[in-house]
Structure 1
Amino acid sequence: MYNVMTEKNTEMDVKELNPKELQHEHPLTLVDLQLMHRDYIEDDDEYDDNDLITTQNFECICNRCDRRIDWYHRYYYKCSMSSCTYSLHKFCEEIPPTLKFQGHPSHTLILKRTTNDKKCCACLKYHRDGICYHCSTCNYGIDQLCATFVEQNTIHHPSHSHPLFSFSAKPGLNECFLCGKKHEGHFYQCTTCFNFLVNSDCLSLPIKLSLHTQQFSHRHLLTLSYSLLDQLYDCECRICGVKLEDEHLIYKCSKCMYYVHPDCATQIKPFMFVLLPGLGKNEKNFKDVNHPNLVHLPVDDETHILSHQIFEGKTRVKGRNEKGHLIHSFHEHPLVLISNDTTTSLHDPMKRIKLLCNACIKPITKMPFYKCSKRDGSCKFVLHDWCIRLPKQLRNHGPHPQHSLRLYIFFDNLSGYKCEACGLPCNGFFYVCFECEYVIDVNCAFMPKEITHEAHANSNHLLARVDSGSSSHSKMECRACRVSIAESESYFRCTSCDFYLDCRCALHLPKTIRHKYDKHPLQLSYSPVEDHKSRYFCEVCEEELDPGKWFYHCAECAQSIHSACAPLMLQSEQGANSLYDSEGVYKYINIKFGAIDEFPRLHRHPLSLAPGTENDGLCQECGSKLQSHIILKCLPCNVAFHWYHEHTLASFLFNPSRHIYMYEENKRMIKQRGPQTSLEFYPSEMMRPVTRHWEVVDDDITKV
């Protein structure tokens, strides 16, 4: 400071200042520019979008210091007369008549008026005509800008409850608290919360954003949110597909549960769409001519997949009797072909007709098919036309190539097994290798090697089957149910992207389903549905629904259903699925219920195989809950038992422990934040964030 002593020898031209001289001729009104963001309730419908944009883009000049007044000052004074544009920073209007200044601690500085061109003793720059703080004893004076240096370098932002002070960090990368990334350049620091350090780029993001590009577009304005702590579900960026962190900035539309990273929303370039993880190119990575038998999913008919995998060949048919009925080695009665019988009812859940094939346990929705010829209707054995052609033996089977697999069946339909490929229990036909104790249901035995799915790249990418034990990835998650894929399971993987589907979700979820109380079909949805705000609830089990997982939805009626509850809805078996089992597909989708047999040890009446519901209460044998278990039920007595209490049912094919079937719980991993970057503070020139443009529009979008 004392390098200007030669200038101090000349008495500064100062004079007393009457505070009334600074007063404006009209009354002033204090304006809160962030009034609508007080406590920042991030509600898309709370305020008009245009009002938010206009407010954040506000800018005018202070009539006292000639510096900009912007939205980040939060408060300012303006003239109450509509015809007058007089404006002041709040701190410029409320400057005190005296000042204690660190650069001159020995005396109090007095507010005075100056008209000379002497230099300020603090910043060493020339005064402009106006006011200053002056010590007459030492002839020491500073201009108003230096007196209000802290206020000039302070901003207010709705992301934080305390003021933020501007400083330039030491050259190098520093971590921003809001986005969790490292930046170079200008930062703002909270003097109250030492670890709150924010990059100027993050502070300058617009509160509202319009997103319209060739690849990504949203019809509503997106709102800037400073955390996901209030969100009900795990969310992914709709552009890059990466999971969003709870404590970091996002752009969101609550109406549609549409979330994107700020970087993804504001820095979209044509090349980014090629390199984004989880999405890949939206161009075909295969030629149709090279894949003539490619299965395109999802399909409307649940029986479609197996029908296209079984071709003409040897069957399990011994011959025909004198009436022309087929003699099948897996059934004691002849089978009659049903082709054009108008009196025969096909599978129709709306009418509570459950016609399931005994081989693949899939609905029979069209003719022809075969059924037992017994006229009294006591035998419910039915087969698809293609299921009578299941080969007796499979050689060089993909998941188990070392030994041949032979076709078997449980004749009582009350025994079952657990499929090695999909992990689901089943009581239909199966292929088995007794030497390796390997068993697989017929659906998984003819699982296609390659598929496409409309949920991924609009069916433009091939999904190749990966058999159990051949995976090179340590951690994989099914994109449909968000459950980790076990190494023992078969699944489908896109060779171009980080996209996985387990075989259950890929093959067992049809495109549409129907509800008997809804006149519209429900569509399989792969992401949160448009215009469905707040929580989602399943219409079948009445439990909460996570829209980040695949589910069924009727847009016209705003009804949603767990994908795992869809078969229960069709069969009117509400309550058979517990909350923790609502992952992907219904776990008993490969079980044909209804078989009846006698079990004298358990009960005096015949018992029926059924899915346990909440209304079934407790097991008469062990006292445990029956809900979501396979049970043996006596309808006249209204009592039931767990399936595995009867010794003939106590085991699956090889291992007694296999009757306990359980989904792997998808546990959420919480990342620990790393240590904060060590900082050093250096003085800097005053820098303020400037709000970026609130609209992201692709120049080429009009060409689409």
Structure 2
Amino acid sequence: MDVKELNLEELQHEHPLTLVDLQLIHRDYIEYDDEYDANDLIMMQNFKCICNRCDRRIDWYHRYYYKCSMSSCTYSLHKFCEEIPPTLKFQGHPSHTLILKRTTNDKKCCACLKYHRDGICYHCSTCNYGIDLLCATFVEQNTIHHPVHPHPMISVSVEPGLNKCFACGKKHEGHFYHCTTCFKFSINFDCLSLPFKLSLQTQQFNHRHLLTLSYSLLDQPYDCECRICGVNVEDEHLIYKCSKCMYYVHPDCATQRIEPFLSDFLPGLGKTEKNFKDIDHPNLVHLPVDDESHILSRQIFEGEPWVQERDKNDLHSRHRYPLVVINNDTSTPLHDPMKRIKLLCNVCSRPITKMPFYKCPAEDDDSCDFVVHNWCTQLPIQLQNPVGHPKHKLELFDFNNITVGIKCDICGLPCNGLIYACKDCDYVIDVNCAFMPKEITHEAHANHLLTRIDGASSSRSSVSKMECRACRVSIAKSESYYRCNACDFYLHCRCALYLPKTIRHKYDKHPLQLSYSPVEDHKSRYFCEVCEEELDPGKWFYHCAECAQSIHSACAPLMLQSEQGANSLSDSEGVYKYINIKFRDVTDVLWFHRHPLSLAPGTENDGLCKECGNKLQSHLIWKCLHCNFGVHCYHHSPKVYAGDRSLMYKYEENKRIIKHRGPQTNFEFYPSEMIRPETRDWKVVDNR
């Protein structure tokens, strides 16, 4: 082999060279991904040219390369081809140092056993041992740089293998790249070639911002779920995320075509095909309603024929004064949180926002605040085949004279209005749950019919765990709930019926909308304007996009200044647990305190119970306005009707188990073929 001394100056190009970074987004890839034009990114990702020294391809994954500074010259070099050292320590020939020299093609390379082509090589004159430039730069030639991983990755084998990919957590058969620094990290060729930017625009799912491929969810304070399949995303796996919204999609969900049948198996995060005909359901209740006071009116007037007997005057006879109708009377202000006016019906505890309604006419009795909706005067005395208790009839009981409250067996919430009870069994439901429709539709799961499942008669052998989509609390076996028969979608009855579409806040001139997922153009954390605690946007909440204000759904009825601090952090989800309680003053002195007391929701400022020493916050309490006295109601509660059922009420739920981020799992890896990846098409468009 003819080997000659080589002067490095001979390799220099006649014009100055410029170092080019093909991945300008690499360093700040996660934080500033939206600052780069999409067309520029596509051009960089599709960049290809030939190195003038090794005749190998230069591409996006090399990240850096040298090009001639003259616009008319196309001379280009790999960064490592330009920066080759004059000497080399080679593992295949450890006894001597190899020297960079010029060679001809009359002998084979001692490493790859292929003939040298005219060019340069590393040579040992003592042993006549030489390797060509390609073998000397083998590692650099097969190293790639990927924006979503901070270290270079290399492929060193020609045989594909079967292994679990660290990037997606799934097993793949094929080629793998391995991190040169993180020995636990290996990524499959398919995941490696995912598009870095994605425009999600399909018939079923779309997002108006570009999505970025990322590993980083460590800055996300809440549990996140894929907006397409609804399954939680893992912070150690690849994910497409939006830099302007809390919008996340699995790569498999984002890059494959969404087939029409798939919508039948999704939990309702995107558009769904309508699976029922309106003509078959003429009395269908569409939720959420605009005004929370209208829920019961629709249930009574549009419900099923459960009524055996109606007596409109029966409710009037239950009060000590005949009730009078209020119609177009401005002297009695309606319920208005904006003006801190609270007007709640004594029968259903829902706000009275429209006329006509009935009230007590006794002007000389300031303690009587008895008011009732017009439709609540039409409640039937008996219910046949009632919700959750078809074997017995239920009768209407006046529970309003008992101040504390009793727990409803359907929604699990306490109430102190009128109730329906069974004389033969210890079964009680409030008037709101008594007329719960069998079928509903809900905006959160548009176009799919939701069917009521009564807990006592339902079979759950096929479903081990069900979680309410609104509050993310598990649904107990004995509970009644709403279910979509086509999807994995469940709602507590109270979450479906008690949350109106809009609410008003005295500090926001706009109505707040019921939101079912993190809203667009809101990347920062969410905080409730009422309780001032952090809010998880994965649970239903109220939000004003114009003012960027949010409220827990459970805090929505607590917008009056006097009720701030009523909910503890663990109670700020779902429906306000005292939504069916009408709080009031008790003018008579009770046997356990010398002053008149008020029934009130315990707040953080109320401190500790005088009886047991536990916190009063988030409990029903007896509260004295004359002295610093407060006790839990269940310490001093009367008894009611048949069965001597206790009024002691404790509201407890199995809270959602929050996922704790643990250490990353170790994966063994198999070397993969020495091939260069190519980024796939970055834009997904549904052409159907």
Higher RCO structure (Cα 8 Å, ≥6 apart): 2
**Structure 1 residues 349, 638: closer, same or farther in 2, change over 3 A?**
farther
1:232-247 paired onto structure 2 within 5 Å: 232-247=221-236
Aligned to 1:543: 533
Residue 261 of structure 1: aligned partner: 250
Matching of residues 121-520 of structure 1 within 5 Å? 121-168=110-157, 173-271=162-260, 273-274=262-263, 276-279=265-268, 282-311=272-301, 317=311, 328-376=316-364, 377-456=366-445, 458=446, 460-469=447-456, 470-472=458-460, 473-520=463-510
- The answer on whether the counterparts of 1:414 and 1:649 sit within 8 Å (CA) in structure 2 is no
TM-score under structure 1 length normalisation: 0.89
The aligned counterpart of 1:6 is none
Which amino acid in the other structure matches residue 361 of structure 1? S
Mapped contact 2:335–2:351 kept (Cα < 8 A): yes
Residue 76 of structure 1 and its aligned partner are, at CA, apart by 2.6
Is 1:694 aligned to residue 671 of structure 2?
no
Aligned positions of 1:37-116 closer than 5 A? 37-38=26-27, 40-45=29-34, 51-116=40-105
Query: What is the aligned partner in structure 2 of residue 4 from structure 1?
Result: none
Q: Distance in 2 between matches of 1:665 and 1:626?
A: 20
Distance in 2 (alpha carbons) for counterparts of 1:583 and 1:346:
27
Paired with 1:586 and 1:302, the residues of 2 have a C-alpha distance of: 13
1:594 aligns with 2:584: yes
Question: 1:645, 1:38 → 2: CA distance?
Answer: 62
Distance in 2, matches of 1:84 and 1:167, equals: 34
Q: Which whole-Å CA distance do the structure 2 matches of 1:327 and 1:197 have between them?
A: 73
> Percent of pairs identical after alignment?
75
Q: Which moved more, 1:218-227 or 1:35-44?
A: 35-44
Q: CA deviation at 1:523?
A: 0.9
| Partner residue of 1:659 out of 644, 649, 666 | 649
**1:348-404 deviation digits (Å, cap 9, x = unpaired):** 222333221111111122223222232324322222222222222223224112322
Q: Which letter does structure 2 place at the counterpart of 1:486?
A: A
User: In the alignment, is the contact (CA less than 8 A) between 2:637 and 2:648 conserved in 1?
Assistant: no
8 Å contact from structure 2 (residues 309, 380) kept in 1: yes
Cα gap change, 1:308/1:544 in structure 2, threshold over 3 Å: closer, same or farther?
same
Find 1:612's aligned residue among 596, 602, 614.
Answer: 602
Work out whether residues 100 and 109 of structure 1, in 8 Å CA contact, stay in contact via their aligned partners in 2. Answer: yes
The one-letter code sitting in structure 1 at the alignment partner of 2:89 is: K
Asked if the contact 2:204–2:271 (Cα under 8 Å) also holds between the matched residues in 1, the reply is no
User: CA shift at 1:544, angstroms?
Assistant: 1.0
What SS does structure 2 have at the residue aligned with 1:95? Answer: coil
Instruction: For structure 2, list consecutive stretches of 5 or more residues without a partner in the other structure.
Output: none
| Deviates further, 400-409 or 132-141 | 132-141
CA contact (8 A) 2:265 2:488 kept: no
Contact residue 650 and residue 659 of structure 1 kept, 8 A: no
Deviation at 1:193, TM superposition (A): 3.0
Distance 1:521 1:555, change over 3 A: same
TM-align CA RMSD = 2.9
Change in CA separation of 1:471 and 1:582 when aligned onto 2, cut-off 3 Å: farther
For 1:122, the aligned partner's letter is A
Q: Cα gap change, 1:347/1:511 in structure 2, threshold over 3 Å: closer, same or farther?
A: same
- The residue type equivalent to 1:529 in the other structure is V
Q: Residue 228 of structure 2 aligns to a residue in which SS?
A: coil
- Does structure 2 conserve the Cα–Cα contact (< 8 Å) formed by 1:421 and 1:488? no
Contact 1:167 1:186 in 2 (8 A): no
Give the match for residue 3 of structure 1. Answer: none
Distance 1:329-1:173 versus aligned 2 partners, 3 A rule: farther
Is residue 315–residue 390 contact of structure 1 (8 Å, CA) maintained in 2? Answer: no
Q: 1:281 to 1:45 in 2, by over 3 A?
A: closer
Query: Any idea what SS the aligned residue of 1:344 has?
Result: coil
The DSSP-based 3-state class of the residue aligned with 1:303 is helix
| Distance change (3 Å), C-alpha of 1:446 and 1:531 | same
Q: CA deviation at 1:581?
A: 0.4
Q: Distance in 2 between matches of 1:467 and 1:29?
A: 73
- Contact 1:169 / 1:679 at 8 angstroms: preserved in 2? no
Q: Please state how far the C-alpha of 1:579 moved relative to its aligned partner.
A: 1.3
Q: 1:521 aligns with which of 492, 496, 511?
A: 511
Shift of residue 168, structure 1, vs aligned partner: 4.9
In 2, Cα distance between equivalents of 1:650 and 1:617: 30
| 1: CA distance, partners of 2:574 / 2:344 | 21
Letter in 2 for 1:664: N
Quick one: structure 1 residues 275 and 335, their matched pair in 2 at CA, closer, same or farther if it must change by over 3 Å?
closer
Distance (whole Å) between structure 1 residues aligned to residue 257 and residue 328 of structure 2: 57
Aligned to 1:556: 546
User: Could you say if the C-alpha distance between residues 658 and 468 of structure 1 is closer, same or farther in structure 2, counting changes exceeding 3 Å?
Assistant: farther
Q: Give runs of aligned pairs for residues 628-643 of structure 1, distance below 5 A.
A: 628-637=618-627, 639-643=629-633
The more displaced of 355-364 and 615-624 is 615-624
Alpha-carbon contact 2:189-2:677 (below 8 Å) kept: yes
Show structure 1 runs of 5+ residues with no match: 1-11, 320-325
Query: Matches of 1:657 and 1:362 in 2, distance apart?
Result: 21
Q: Deviations over 1:403-440 (max 9, x none)?
A: 22222122424131111111111111112235432211
Q: 1:331 to 1:308 in 2, by over 3 A?
A: same
Verify the 8 A CA contact 2:25 2:32 in the aligned structure 1.
no
Task: Give, as a single letter, the amino acid of the residue that structure 1 aligns with 2:480.
Answer: S
Maintained 8 Å contact 2:229/2:267: yes
- Would the alpha carbon gap of residues 618 and 47 (structure 1) be closer, same or farther in structure 2, given more than 3 Å must change? farther
1:128-187: CA deviations, max 9, x gaps? 221122344544432211111111111122333332111458656321101111222211
More displaced stretch, 51-60 vs 373-382: 51-60
SS in 2 for 1:540: coil
Q: Residue deviations 1:528-562, cap 9 Å, x none? A: 11111211111111111111111111111121111
